[in-house]
Amino acid sequence: MNDRNPHGSGAKGPDELRHQIEHARSQLGDTVAQLADKVDATGRARARAADLRDKAGAMTVQLRTSAAEAGHAVQDRAARTGHAVQDRASRAGHAVQDRAAQAGHAVQDRAASTGHAVQDRAARTGHAMQDRASRAGHAVQSRAERAGHTLEESAPQPLRGALSAGMRHPGLILAVGVLGAAAVAAGIAWRRQRHH
C-alpha cells in the first residue's frame, strides 16, 4: 500500500480518495505535458535539422552550379585568350619566316652574281693563260725546228739522216739523249774509280 500512496497513508474517506485521484491526475497531466513538450522539442529539432539539411543541400547545389558556371566562363576566356595569342604568334612566325626567306633569296642572288663574276674572270684568265702558253709553245717549237734545221745542215753527212729521223720522232731523240747521258755519267764514274 505504501507504494500506491506517496504520502504513506491510505485514503480515509471518499473525499480524500477523490482528492488524491485529482492530485495524481494533475501530476500525471504535468508529466504527460512535459513528455509531450520533450517529444515535440525533439520533433521540432528534427524538423529544423531536416530543414537545415535541405537548405544546405540547396546551397551546395547552387554553389556547385555557380562554381561550374564560373569555371566555364574562366575556361572560355582562357581559350579565347589562348587562341588570340596563338594567332598572334602564328602571324609573327609567318612574318619572320617571310623576312628570312627574302633575306635568304637576296643572299643567294648576291652569291650567285658573285660566283658568276668570279667564274667569268677565271675563265677569261684561263683563256688568256692558255693563249700565252700556246703562243709560247709555238715559239719554242719554231725555234726548235729552226735549231734542228740549222744543226742538220751543219752536221756531217752520216749524222744528217739520224737528225732528220729524230726531228720526225722527237721521242726517239729524247730516249737516245737519256741513254747518251747515262753512258757519259757511267764513263765519268769509271774514270774516277781508276784514278783513286
What type of residue sits at position 134? S
Whether residue 147 is predicted with pLDDT greater than 50 in this model: the reply is yes
Q: For position 1, what pLDDT does the model report?
A: 39
| Contacts (Cβ under 8 Å, ≥6 apart) of 167 | 145, 148, 152, 173
Residue 42 corresponds to which cell in the numbers above? Answer: 525533439
Output the pTM of the full model: 0.32
Spacing of C-alpha 127 from chain mean position: 51
Segment 101-123 mean pLDDT: 86
The whole-number pLDDT of residue 178 equals: 57
Cβ–Cβ under 8 Å, residues 134 and 123: no
- Nearest CA to 41 out of 52, 49, 31, 53 is that of 49
pLDDT of residue 175 exceeding 70, the answer is no
